[in-house]
């Protein structure tokens, strides 16, 4: 149960991070 919960939290953090990263790339100029 604990192992499964860890996987769920990891997946959630990874998804949230990728979403924020995409927004970050959109805000930052390409030449940076």
In a domain, 13, yes or no: yes
In a domain, 21, yes or no: yes
In a domain, 15, yes or no: yes
* Alpha carbon distance 15, 11 (integer Å): 6
In a domain, 16, yes or no: yes
In a domain, 3, yes or no: yes
pLDDT at 24: 87
In a domain, 32, yes or no: no
Q: Which residue has the tokens 């924020």?
A: 20
28, HSE (Cβ side, Cα atoms, 13 Å): 9
Domain range enclosing 7? 1-27
In a domain, 11, yes or no: yes
pLDDT at 31: 65
19 has pLDDT over 70: yes
Domain count for the chain: 1
* Alpha carbon distance 16, 23 (integer Å): 11
32 has pLDDT over 60: no
15, HSE (Cβ side, Cα atoms, 13 Å): 6
């Amino acid at each position: 149960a604990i192992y499964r919960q860890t996987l769920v939290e990891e997946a959630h953090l990874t998804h949230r991070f990728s979403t924020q990263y995409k927004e970050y790339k959109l805000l930052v100029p390409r030449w940076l």
